[in-house]
Amino acid sequence: MLAWAGLVGGLTGLAVVGFHFLLGFINNFLYGPVVEGLISLFSATPPEPLPLPEAVQATGTPLGALLQIGLGGLAFMPPPPPPPDPIPLPGDPLPLWLSAWPVVLVPLLGGLAVGALRQWSRDLGPSLPSLMAMADGSVQAAPKLPFVRLLAASLSLGSGASLGPEGPSVESGGNIGLWVAGRGGLSPDSQKALVAAGVAAGLAAGFKAPIAGLFFAFEGSYSTIPGRPSVRAVLVAAVASSLVTQLSLGDEPIFRLPAYEVRSPLELPLYLGLGLVASGMSLALLNLLAAGRSERVQRQLQRLPACVVTGLGGLAVGLMALGFPQVLGVGYDTIGALLGREGGIALLSLLGLLVVKLLATGLSSATGFVGGGFAPSLFLGAVLGNVYGQLLGESGLQLPVAEPPAYAMVGMAAVLAGSARAPLTALLLLFELTHDIRIVLPLMAAAGLSALLVERWTGMADPGLLGPDRPEEQRRARLASIGVIKALEPESPLVLSGATSAAAALEQLLDAHGHCLVVEDDGWVLALVTLEDLQRPISAGLGQQALRDCRRSDLLWLSAGANLCQLEDQLQPNGLRQVPVFQLDDQALPQLPAGVPSTGLPLTALQGLASRDGMARALARSSAQFTSLGAMTSM
């Protein structure tokens, strides 16, 4: 297994390195010779090159230079006082903001190219949610090597789409992992482990952060991958991919983050406020991405050819870039500027940049550009944290707090944690980039609160940040169309009093050939106890322990009005096989609570246990009915 994982990590690292060089080539070509050619084509005299900052002249790219120059319009690098505007005469040059019109055409050209590629390939391969469903056995495995996906992502990001490169990197790693596992004839558990290994390798290579990649493979919807062999495989893959990228691209970090400042321990509660605000930004980003991927919006967009849709999306992003060029592309240049200490950015400009970046990201995702949401979430977090720091400091409340770049760093982690449902990944990513132990407490406070609030407000389902996945969304829509009542086990659940001993309960459960039982006290259901829960006290010589003391966690349950999609959301993250279903008349109770009220749930409302096997039977019956209906319709 470790050898297979090393192979997956090495191949993923090579894929990410190739992606990096291809993206750089396309970006330099489009914003270099193409822009110069467009300007010279429509200009009587060749344009004089704009003076660039020394750092950009030494190491920058054409798009990076554009972003650095654009920062002058945001008051980051204040331009010299302009001369008085002359009276415009016929034939005078266009205004400065309009003279950047090639910036509008480049995303348009990139959109046309991405749309044509989509029409030609028809399928870029499964995205991460589909890969996890394939590894779990929910759908037939159909991995695809990521050549076309990475080419489409390079065209998208190189032309200025407001998305990130980490999504394609992670999805490519997952596809490579499943493809290698299939070619090697490995078992389903090994396939699942190699998908996780590819996911970790993709993120580790994309950020040069192997520890964050390791934890990302086991957070959120990936936390169902158990076992020490999987941990070792994921670790080996992350190290192998990081080694390949460092040998090929160097070990320079993506961001040059400043040293974190601690003005006072009393400042820590202020980071909780940043976590609260960041959760709202995470929700805005997730809702905007989900709205763009919704069936209603996509149905309208599918009336047009794919190249027209992506072209219009690129045109819209280009028009936004006339006022805010920072929305173009991945945005790491702007993040680096926000983390710098050369000066502050005007609050109104930052607030406008927040709105425009959100819209550009939603449009880029909805219209078919290929990329992920990690980089936009980091961008939005950096801008939001900078605004928050300025409001607390000299531009607002005049509190003795750290400089805005410190809050920008924490804001990056907080928005990423809420958007990706991965607080540990966000925390470790920023820690790996800063190498400063003092930043851990603020990161834990802000990232943890942001992720907690987003999960509380949106439920257990992960809406996804890495990009649209139509097959998985269609599968989930099919699950949502079937009620959970159809997934109930045919046998009545075993219900025992909480005073029953563990030994007696185990004996009755074995006689019933069951996997779990319901614990009740005075007509109120308190918990669901599994075979493993009963074996633990018995193995410790506590066979007479009361059944109510054998439960390991609060009761997870569903209402009778829930669907199979919600059942899957309860079963997978918690590693359960069965969930009790209740018919409750009290509409004030939440439909998907993580636990139970203090009094428990009434035993009379218990309808039965919905299970994985019951979900499979309900799906099979639904497929049989659909096939029969289709046959009758064709007669």
Distances in Å between the Cα of 564 and the Cα atoms of 42, 126, 568, 617 are: 59, 22, 6, 11
- Residue by residue, DSSP assigns 147-216 as HHHHHHHHHHHHHT-S-BSHHHHHHHHHHHHHHHHHHTT--HHHHHHHHHHHHHHHHHHHHT-HHHHHHH
Q: Which two tokens stand for residue 387?
A: 């605004």
- Please report the pLDDT score of residue 384 as a whole number: 93
Give the DSSP per-residue string, 148-164. HHHHHHHHHHHHT-S-B
Place of tokens 């069965």: 578
562, 591 Cβ separation under 8 angstroms:
yes
Q: What are phi and psi of 132, to 5 degrees?
A: -65, -40
What ranges in 33-81 are assigned the alpha helix state H? 35-41, 54-59, 62-70
pLDDT of residue 278: 93
Nearest Cα to Cα of residue 283 among 147, 92, 421, 95: 421
Q: From CA 324, how far away is CA 581, in angstroms rounded?
A: 51
Q: Cα torsion for 480, 484, 489, 494, to the nearest 10°?
A: 140
The closest alpha carbon to 592, from 621, 617, 627, 556, belongs to: 556
Distances in whole angstroms, Cα of residue 622 to Cα of each of 225, 560, 578: 29, 18, 20
Helical ranges in 483-576 per DSSP H: 502-511, 531-539, 564-574
The Cα 460–Cα 478 span in angstroms is 18
> Tokens at residue 299, please?
């149905």
Q: Which helix (H) or strand (E) holds 521?
A: strand 516-521
- Spatial separation of the C-alpha atoms in residues 239 and 427, rounded to whole Å: 19
- Provide block-wise average pLDDT over 10 residues at a time, the chain (635 residues): 88 92 89 77 53 44 49 35 39 48 84 89 75 69 82 91 88 88 81 86 86 78 52 88 88 70 76 92 89 82 87 91 86 81 70 92 90 89 90 79 85 90 85 74 89 78 59 76 87 86 87 83 84 83 82 77 82 73 66 52 86 84 62 51
d(CA 334, CA 332): 5
| Other beta carbons less than 10 A from residue 79's beta carbon | 10
The residue written with tokens 């928050």 in the block is 388
Q: Mind spelling out the 3-state secondary structure of 451-484?
A: HHHHHHHHCCCCCCCCCCCHHHHHHHHHHHCCEH
For residues 211 and 191, the answer to whether their CB atoms sit within 8 Å is no
Token pair recorded at residue 63 = 């798009």
- Strands 578-582 and 558-559 come out as parallel
Distance CA 201, CA 240 (A): 8
Buried b / exposed e over 296-329, threshold 16 CB at 10 Å, is eebeebeeeebbebbbbbbbbbbebbeebbbbbb
**Partners of 579 in beta bridges:** 610
Pairing of strands 516-521, 524-530: antiparallel
For residue 517, the surrounding DSSP H or E stretch is strand 516-521
CA nearest to 547, candidates 557, 533, 559: 533
What whole-number distance in Å separates Cα of residue 449 and Cα of residue 397?
Answer: 23
H helices present in 250-325, as ranges: 268-293, 295-301, 306-323
Distant-in-sequence, close-in-space partners of 342: CB < 8 Å, separation ≥ 6: 76, 77
**What is the rounded end-to-end Cα distance, in angstroms, of the chain?**
52
pLDDT at residue number 43: 58
Residue 473 C-alpha from the chain's centroid: 15
Return all residues near 194 (Cβ < 8 A) that are at least 6 apart. Answer: 4, 5, 8, 177, 178, 180, 181, 186, 233, 237
Q: How far is CA 300 from the centre of its chain?
A: 25
Of the candidates 456, 424, 487, 406, the residue with the CA atom closest to the CA atom of residue 590: 456
Determine which helix (DSSP H) or strand (DSSP E) holds 530, and give its type and residue range: strand 524-530
